[in-house]
Copies of this chain bind each other. A is one copy, B any other.
Amino acid sequence: MTQLQPQSFVSNFSSQAEETDYFDYFYNEPGSEPGTLNIEPTARPSRIILIDYDEDDAIRKVDISPNALLPYLGKNSVSWMDVQGLGSEEVLREVGTIFDLHPLLLEDIVNVPQRPKLDEYKDKLMFIAHMVRRHDGVDGFVTEQVSFILGKNYLVTFQEEELEDCFDLVRERIRNNQGKVRQSKADYLAYLLLDSLIDGYFPILEHYEERIEVLEEKIISEPDRKIMQEIYSIRRELLALRRLLWPLRNVLNLMIRDDHDLLTQEVQIYFRDCYDHVIQILDILEAYRELASSLMDAYMSSVGNKMNEIMKFLTVFTAIFNPLTFIAGVYGMNFENMPELKWSWAYFACLGVMFSIASIMIFLFWKKGWFKTTYSLDEE
Contact = CB atoms under 8 A, between A and B. Distances in A.
Interface string A17-30: 00000010101111
A1 to B, nearest CB: 26
A11 interface: no
Interface in A133-171: 166-170
Contacts of A317: 315, 318-319, 322
A31 B166 contact: yes
A167 to B, nearest CB: 7
A321 B368 CA distance: 22
A290 to B, nearest CB: 6
Interface stretch (A47-55, A74-82, A255-263, A275-283): A275-283
A334 to B, nearest CB: 5
A228 interface: yes
A310 to B, nearest CB: 5
Interface in A242-286: 243, 269-270, 273, 276-277, 279-280, 283-284
Q: Is the interface of A mostly helix, strand, loop or mixed?
A: helix
A243 B291 CA distance: 13
A68 interface: no
| This chain's copy number in the assembly | 5
A101 to B, nearest CB: 12
A127 interface: no
A220 interface: yes
Interface stretch (A37-45, A92-100, A300-308): A300-308
B328 A319 contact: no
Q: Which 7 A-B pairs give the minimum distances between C-beta atoms?
A: A31-B169, A328-B329, A27-B202, A30-B199, A331-B333, A321-B322, A335-B347
19 contacts: A23-B284, A31-B167, A31-B168, A31-B169, A31-B196, A33-B173, A34-B273, A104-B269, A104-B270, A115-B280, A115-B283, A239-B287, A296-B298, A313-B319, A318-B318, A322-B325, A325-B329, A328-B329, A335-B350
